Amino acid sequence: MAMDAGFIGRSFPHADPYVVGAAKIREFAESIGELDPRYLDPAVARDAGHVDVVAPPTFAILVIARAQEAVMFLPELRLDFSRVVHGDQRFVHHRPIVAGDALTSVVHIDNIRAAAGNDILSLRVEVTDPAGAPVCTAYSTLVSRAA
């Protein structure tokens, strides 16, 4: 059964902010082999003009994942997650993510379309700080492969 195109244009705020911790940044940076001292050493990060350690750009996936999952697993959407592959992921950073940030995400369903029997879901996640200032915009394309 195809995904419900009636979801196009809908937005889903995620209720719980993601609080960024320095230890989580270190763990993520080390796991991807990114050893830039701004990611690991608060003094170096402060010398570079930040209030604390900075997250690598792809750290944003941790921030948006919970919000996206809450939408992708809505039964009414009819996304067959057992057949999903990641088609594309990109981030537009408006400012660095820094330890201590409490970030809120809103998932937007930008498009649902069919191509060669596959369902293609385009998501955009707007990540903001407590004042509502933009931090990151994440774009994801998920492909639910044809049976």
List, for residues 100-124, the tens digit of each pLDDT value.
999 999 999 999 999 998 999 999 9
Average pLDDT, integer, range 5-30 = 96
pLDDT > 70? residue 22: yes
What is the model's pTM?
0.93
Residue 24 in tokens: 């989580």
Distance of alpha carbon 122 from its chain centroid, rounded?
13
Based on its alpha-carbon atoms, the radius of gyration of the chain, rounded to whole angstroms, reads 17
pLDDT > 70? residue 90: yes
The residue among 116, 105, 124, 109 whose CA lies nearest residue 78 is 109
d(CA 55, CA 51): 12
Phi, psi of 35 (to 5 degrees): -110, 25
Domains in the chain and their CATH numbers? 5-19+57-144 (3.10.129.10)
The residue among 83, 106, 107, 121 whose CA lies nearest residue 3 is 121
